Amino acid sequence: MITVVGVGRVGSDAALHLGLRRLDREITLIDVVQGLPQGEALDLNHTMSILGIDVEYRGSNDYRDMAGSDIVVVTAGLARKPGMTREELAAKNAEIVGAIGRAIREHAPGAIVLMTTNPLDAMVYVMYRATGFPRERVIGFSGVLDSGRLAYYASKRIGVSPSSILPIVVGQHGEKMVPLPRHTYVYGKPITEFLSRSEIDEIVKETIQAGAEITKLRGYSSNHAPGAGVAVMAEAIKRDEKKVFLASAILKGEYGVEGVPACVPLVLGKAGIERIIELDMTEEEKRLFEESINAIRENIGQIPRPLIE
C-alpha cells in the first residue's frame, strides 16, 4: 500500500499520478481536515473507473490507517505564499512534519518516506530525526523538479526536446541551489558547447527563480510538476528500477559533508537509496556547493531544537 499524507494540491496530484502508473492496488489519503481526504478519494475512484484502472483510493483522518504502507509520500505543511521564501517556512512546518514522522515510525515502521514539504532539505532532516529511520528510507523530492526546470529552459534555447537533456542541479532546494551546466549533457555534449556564457547564466537564473515565478503569477506554488515527479520516484522504488535521480538525502561523508541533507545524484530501488553518486567539481562549483550546504545548515538552525532532538 502507498499512503499520501497531506491532500492539498501537491498531494492530490501525486495521488493521481500514483494511480495512473498503477503502482499499487490501494492508495490511502490522510489529512487532518475532516472530509477532504474522503472527498478526494471518491473523486479519484471515479477517475480510475472512467479510465479503467483497478486502483482503490480511501480517505482517512487517522494516521493508523497508514499501517502496512511500504511507501509514505508526505506533502503536508503550510503552503508557500507570494514573497515567502522556503526558508521562512522552516519553523512552522517542522512541527507538522515531526508529528507525521512519529506517526510513520509507529504505524508504518518499514516504509520508505518521500518528502515534498518545504523548505525541503530542512524537512528531510526533521523527518529523518523524527522517524529514526536509516537515511536510505528518508528521501526528499527536489532535484527531479529543479533539474526538470533546467532541462526545460535549456531545451528552448538549444532547440531540442527536454527529454534529450540530462540536467544536473545539486545542493539546496531553494535560492541557493547549484545548477551544473558543465555536467548537463545533450547526448554526450555539455550544454556549455551549445550555449554562450550569458545564455547559460540566464537559464540558471530562470531555474532558480522558477518556483517563485509560478507563485507570483498564480498566487500559489507549483503542484503539477511535484505531483508527477514524486510519483516517478515512487515508481522506481516499487519496481526496483535502480534508476538515478537527483534527490535530497542525508550525506554521510559524500562531497565532504556529514549529517546534512542535500540534493545529489542517487540510485533508487526497492531499498530506497541504494547508492549516492559523487560528481567531480571545479573549485568554483565546490564553492557554490559549500554555500548551498551552509544555507541548509542555517535553515535547520532556524528550527526550534526540541523539534529535531
Q: What is the pLDDT at residue 4?
A: 98
DSSP H helices in 159-269: 197-218, 224-238
- Looking at the chain, the number of H-run helices and the number of E-run strands are 8, 14
- For position 309, what pLDDT does the model report? 73
Tell which phi-psi region holds residue 275, choosing left (phi > 0), alpha (psi between -120 and 50) or beta: beta
Q: How many residues are there in the chain? A: 309
Rg (CA), the chain: 19
φ and ψ at 295, to 5 degrees? -65, -40
**What is residue 169's predicted lDDT score, i.e. its pLDDT?**
95
Structural domains of the chain, ranges and CATH numbers in brackets: 2-142 (3.40.50.720)
DSSP 8-state class, residue 251: E
Query: Which DSSP category does 195 fall into?
Result: S
**What does the pLDDT read at residue 79?**
72
Q: Output DSSP code: residue 84.
A: -
Nearest to 181 by CA among 212, 159, 213, 158: 158
Whether 173 is catalytic = yes
Count of Cβ atoms closer than 10 Å to residue 194 Cβ: 17
What pLDDT is stored for residue 78 in this prediction? 86
Q: Where are the alpha helices (DSSP H) in the chain?
A: 9-20, 36-51, 90-107, 120-131, 143-158, 197-218, 224-238, 283-301
Q: Which pTM does this prediction carry? A: 0.94
CA–CA gap between residue 57 and residue 31 (Å, rounded): 14
pLDDT value of position 85: 64
User: What percent of the chain lies above the pLDDT cut of 90?
Assistant: 87
Which segments of the chain have a pLDDT < 70? 80-82, 84-87
Cell of 41: 478519494
**Residue 91 pLDDT:** 81
Pairing relationship of beta strands 26-30 and 56-60 according to DSSP bridges = parallel
Cα torsion 174, 178, 179, 183: sign: negative
Query: What is the structure's pLDDT at 303?
Result: 87
Distance CA 99, CA 117 (A): 13
Instruction: Provide the pLDDT for residue 53.
Output: 98
In the set 46, 173, 183, 224, the catalytic residue is 173
Q: Which residues contact 276 (CB under 8 A, 6 or more apart)?
A: 249, 251, 254, 264, 265, 266, 267
